[in-house]
Structure 1
Amino acid sequence: MRPVPWHPKPIPTVWLDHKTGVGVDDSGASVQPRIGGRRKYPNLADLLDTALARGAQRLMLTGPVPDPVPGQDKHWLVVPTPQWTPLVHWLGTPPTGRFEHEVTHSRLEVRLAAEWFGTATVTPAQARAAWAATADALRASDRKAELFLSPAATGTNLWALSLPRTIDPEPLPEDVAELLHRTAGQHRIEHLTTGPAACTCGGCRPLVDLAETPRGAFAYTDGRFMYASLCRELGTGPVTRLTGPQAAELIERDPFCRARFRVRFTVPDYWDHVGLLGVQHENVRDGWHYPNVPGAGGECWADAVEVRLALDHGWTVEVLEGLSFAKGRVLDTWADRLVRARRRAAEMPGLDLPVRRATQAALRAILIQGIGAFASRGRETTRVVWSARDVPAQYAHDVRRYGEAFVYREPARGLSGNNAAYQRIELAAQVWARGRARVLSCPSALSVKLSFGAWTTVGALEVDPTTLLGINGDAIFTTSVEPWSLPTQYGGGDDGREGRLRLQGFLPDVKLPASAAERNKLREQAVAAGIDGALPHSPNASEETTTGA
């Protein structure tokens, strides 16, 4: 089941601004839009025609695109496109459109540059430059590396290139893989203020009362290229099923075992902080919550690193059964090469700041989406037709109207052949679990070894709980600046290494967020403001300190 690397041919691409249609092609030559009628700005068909005229097979759009309107069936990809037939779309996030020209039968894929670069603010020329810089950085770490249609495909193919010849990871039994798919959550997403976003299960309580503290500072801290630091010696097949006593003995004997456990837990009476173990809501579509009310509890599957963290903090944890994996270096080389690529991008001469940031963001997307792709079981597709008669009978119950268009979804099909070799849910599940544990308790340049062998850490558990606004993946939002989040030159724990939690932005006085959406807006404002206002004794921080991606 070793994955076989793909070797794609270059895809002719044009980079256009969504609003104006102005852009560049692969060579950097200027592209002007072909606008039909008497319109001032191009519509989607004009953009497709512009790309076709340059011989492109891929259209990358920069600039903001209209967001789907809640309650209204409108989407910028589902509009009339004369002479272009819509093929299989993906209307999720990020969206992808596929079209075929009715005369030439040329096919064109439409994607957003923000999928790679994390922002819509780059210009077409900057996006093209960042694309080239990303490709150069990857090839510097692996000469066979190529950029694919998506960051996820790029990441998984890089894994196939990097997998040592001596390693042939054994696939999981189907029942174990299915169990992981059902019970392994992704990164932690939790809003911790009172208000409409607060969890109402009864076992979770918000930590910041907005009635008592409506305003305050806003500090945004997150991990630098965090996932790359979590890929060491992951567990993979063969897998061994464990009874409750066997599982309890394993985690007691080997705290660093590669294993997952089904546990029943209770929050201690003295607990006044965030929850440590995640439980799925009764409606699994609502995601996960983290009970933190003393006496509350639950039952869940959790990785050994999460169970160990709860035990170390005095939680009552009963181990009911487990799965033990073999330790291997399945992702070590892959992560090392991405780290080298990122460092290469930071050192490339001649890149202006927006291009350098975009390049680092692209490498981060490859890392994060590559991990997510290991858990993929295929993707559902969206088809667009302009007559109800063209909707297959089996999908008639799921049709939505977008103006004059009829849109239906075809469910994901299972992966087979070489694609199936990339299905490694156990790898994704472990990295996600390590990430959930690491945002709570993370090593830093300030860490020291204690007398009983443990190391001091930083992270959400080291934050005053009355200041903790929320957690999103490896991001922590607080109403005060944590000294450990500062660069080492200011007495903090950020020495520039991958995996360090570091301050990304600071706002001194804002209305505190009642929802994740409000919090995300403050995050953007904080990043724009930088961290100068949080640094002691000096208003000036280095470019690397304030802008490291």
Structure 2
Amino acid sequence: MTSAKAYQDGLAELRGVRDEIKPREKQLAKLQAELGKLRADRDEKIRTLGAYEKAKPDRLATSAGVSVIDVVALVPSLGPQTPASAPASTPPDTSATEDRPQPQNAAQAIKEPAGALAPDLRAPAQPPQPVDVTETPAPDTTEDQAPAQTPSAQPTAAAPSPAVTPATTPARPAPAVDEQERKLPSIPEGNDGDRWIYAEPNLASKRPNFKQADRQMVFLDAATGVLASRTGTVTLDLGTGSVAEILTAVYATVPTTVERIYITAGEPWLRNAERHQFLKDAVAQWLNGPLPQDWTVEASRGKDRQAGHLVHPRNPVGRWQRGDQHTEIRSVGEWFDAEGADPVTVRTAFIELWRALRRHWDDVVLMGSPSQTGRDLWARTIPAKEGAKWAGGYPVMSQEIRGLLHATAGQGRTELIKPPRVPERVPGWYESDRTFAYAKHTWTSGVGVPQRVTAAAFAAMTAKEQANALFSPSHWQVRVTIPQDWNHVGLLPAPAPASTSGDRPWHYPFEGGRTFTTWAGGAEINLALRNPIQPWRIEILDGLVWEKGDPLKDWSNKLKDAWRALRAVADVHGDEQQRQAARLASRAVRSILLYGIGTFAQRPRITTGSIELGANGEVPEIPDGAKLTGLSDTHVTWERNAGFARDQYAHPEWAAGVWSAARAALLSGPTGAKDPDTGKPARAGALHLPAGSILAFRTDAIYSSVRPDWPYSGEPGDYLLKGALAWEQHTPTTDEEFYDLQSLGRQALEAERS
């Protein structure tokens, strides 16, 4: 600011902007109120019409402009009954650009049938063999899958860390049952439920017979303008960092054959974030800004169903085209945190990543995201040799089973434990993070069509058959009773109360004497039955048991080998830039496995888009079934749930199994080091720390008030101490306080080690 006059003029301009904002805010509030009333009226009409005995969910969905999933959610009785096997003549879905939502069966509220008590798995026994397995791989002794060799079935106390005493643990709250707890879906009783047990006709995961197209990429620091490409580096003038300015500056320097521009720093999509209530609104406005002449938003490209923008608050994807030229602007944050690395180093990291993967896949191509790359690499490990098991492809489960797993199999455990469960002040703050955790749990997975095991069927089994079923890849509906004198963290996920779930739909009941009903994977059920403190009472209500196979093992082993090789380079290379590049590349391998597993879950496909406002700011019609998610000065943003697509790589049973095993290992699991007393893998996890010392969980990390003394060998699954504050702290009660302590703890540990 150069003068008082300029300052006063600026204030006048600011007031002008304020006066322009106010009427638009009022308009938006009015629109949102009107939209809310219309939606409520629409939903009521759907419920009324859905009561008609001949009502069809697809007809209602079309008339209402919503998806079939939304209709079934409002009128559960409209869930269609799918035959046990579809006609053999059903043609495969070859649609390239159309993702039609498919009908969903009713999500039936859990009933309270008689359960079959699970056996005591803590008794001495040899590891049981899986049910109906024709090819059983050798057991992986590093995995937590075999029964514990315990001399007695009596409960034993968890051994606390040596010479560590937590602050006094407050009195445990009395057990309470929240009447508003969400009800999870269940498999219908009898033949109606048995009809769910089939594989989708003409749909299986098969090895591709083509190589992905290579796409040239460049790396741009949007803050400094430095651009790195195969021809060298150049500094660009990006102006304000708009899409138009970036496209113009980049393609004035590089050839039109470049199809990906990775942003390494600067986040241009958040330049005006302070003007918006939500980050996604700022991103949408940036993506939909003015374009250079002849450029348009990409609408489609052959069989690419990902055309159009992805509006994400941190890692958006913008797609544009100019004639036959196509380009994407993406964030390198999809792959790893660049940690201030310059574009040349980031580009070197991608080269090192490709080289490490090339040792295992001759046809490797780095695709736009780690999830796409992970799925493509996995597909190239599917058996192709004639006569090999699953050479014809891995079958995709029925839509009903996929929908059930989507609703009942959560991902990583996220929990903040607050007073009075823990003291308001604690003696320290320690973060222990599992290294490359998911890679630890890919050695076995369920394959084929599952066997349904009802409570009656489970009760009719012998003890050995019951143990076989519980040690097989499985997913169980159970009634759980926590021991009366339990004084540690919860072991099994349960649906959080609908009114408080927010972004965390699962919670972990811990109150002694409490009974609740939930779904959980076989790994977690095993943990609850044979944890190192005291077994929980588990009653089997229903379940799905798969044949044991290893569809992810070869893929995972190759990725782990690439990860180890890159970490070795990062440790010993003499050039600092190469060390940093190798370190970033190793993290990219982790992302390939982590997000690759996530793609198997095949969540309902959410599509996003935006439409320019009409004259006088009038809101245009949005697509049928879409909902308004944002409104800027120039555009409205919408999103639509497109349901479950016919995806040949949809295997939520694999993702659910890995997630369940990872959550179980967060409580108790083997490490890569040996226990000197027993010669077996040393164990670590929350249950191996004192009661009252656990403060939070975050997917692969445990936060505690005492310092864990767990061996670390650098192997997948081992706990690495990442943060430490060795003095008294206020217990965090909000996410903001949690992240502040997390940051301080990491800084303090780094200072301690330097």
TM-score normalised by length of structure 2: 0.62
CA distance in 1, matches of 2:602, 2:314: 16
Matches within 5 A, 1:210-359: 210=424, 213=425, 216-247=427-458, 249=461, 250-253=465-468, 255-283=470-498, 286-312=504-530, 313-348=534-569, 349=573, 350=575, 352-359=578-585
Change (3 A) 1:142 1:101: closer
Q: Which amino acid aligns with 2:435?
A: R
Match of 2:216 in 1: 12
Match of 2:411 in 1: 186
Unaligned runs of 5+ in 2: 1-203, 299-307
Structure number with larger C-alpha Rg: 2
Query: How big is the shift at 1:317?
Result: 1.2
Match of 2:631 in 1: 401
Q: Which amino acid aligns with 1:480?
A: V
CA contact (8 A) 1:221 1:505 kept: yes
CA contact (8 A) 2:693 2:704 kept: yes
CA contact (8 A) 2:397 2:449 kept: yes
SS of the counterpart of 2:213? coil
Deviations 1:361-387 (A, max 9, x none): 111111110000001245322222323
CA contact (8 A) 2:318 2:328 kept: yes
Query: How big is the shift at 1:414?
Result: 3.9
RMSD: 2.7
Deviations 1:428-458 (A, max 9, x none): 000000000011101124554999x997621
Q: Once structures 1 and 2 are overlaid, which stretch shifts more, 453-462 or 80-89? A: 453-462
Match of 1:544 in 2: none
Match of 1:487 in 2: none
CA distance in 1, matches of 2:709, 2:397: 44
CA distance in 1, matches of 2:744, 2:644: 42
Across the two proteins, how many residue pairs are aligned to each other? 503
Change (3 A) 1:253 1:98: closer
What percent identity do the matched residue pairs reach?
27
Decide which of 17, 33, 39 is 2:236's aligned counterpart.
Answer: 33
SS of the counterpart of 1:20? coil
CA distance in 2, matches of 1:221, 1:152: 26
Query: How big is the shift at 1:529?
Result: 4.3
Q: Which amino acid aligns with 1:50?
A: A
Match of 2:325 in 1: 106
Match of 1:499 in 2: 717
Change (3 A) 1:310 1:494: same
Deviations 1:144-190 (A, max 9, x none): 22211110011111111112332332322222222111111111111
> 2:75 matched to 1:75?
no
Q: Which amino acid aligns with 2:317?
A: G
Change (3 A) 1:221 1:251: farther
SS of the counterpart of 2:394? coil
CA contact (8 A) 2:611 2:622 kept: no
CA distance in 2, matches of 1:383, 1:254: 46
Q: Which amino acid aligns with 1:43?
A: S
> 2:254 matched to 1:52?
no
Change (3 A) 1:226 1:320: same
Q: Which amino acid aligns with 2:277?
A: G
Decide which of 417, 423, 428 is 1:209's aligned counterpart.
Answer: 423
CA contact (8 A) 1:63 1:120 kept: no
CA distance in 2, matches of 1:367, 1:522: 29
CA distance in 2, matches of 1:375, 1:59: 28
Q: Which amino acid aligns with 1:381?
A: T
Q: Once structures 1 and 2 are overlaid, which stretch shifts more, 3-12 or 468-477? A: 3-12
Decide which of 691, 701, 704 is 1:478's aligned counterpart.
Answer: 704
Query: How big is the shift at 1:122?
Result: 2.7
Change (3 A) 1:378 1:29: farther
Change (3 A) 1:253 1:340: closer
CA distance in 2, matches of 1:31, 1:502: 39
> 2:366 matched to 1:147?
yes
Q: Once structures 1 and 2 are overlaid, which stretch shifts more, 224-233 or 49-58? A: 49-58
Change (3 A) 1:393 1:255: closer
Deviations 1:338-394 (A, max 9, x none): 101101212334554432321121111111100000012453222223234764452
Q: Once structures 1 and 2 are overlaid, which stretch shifts more, 352-361 or 382-391? A: 382-391
CA distance in 2, matches of 1:514, 1:396: 36
TM-score normalised by length of structure 1: 0.84
CA distance in 2, matches of 1:478, 1:191: 11
Match of 1:488 in 2: none
SS of the counterpart of 1:465? coil
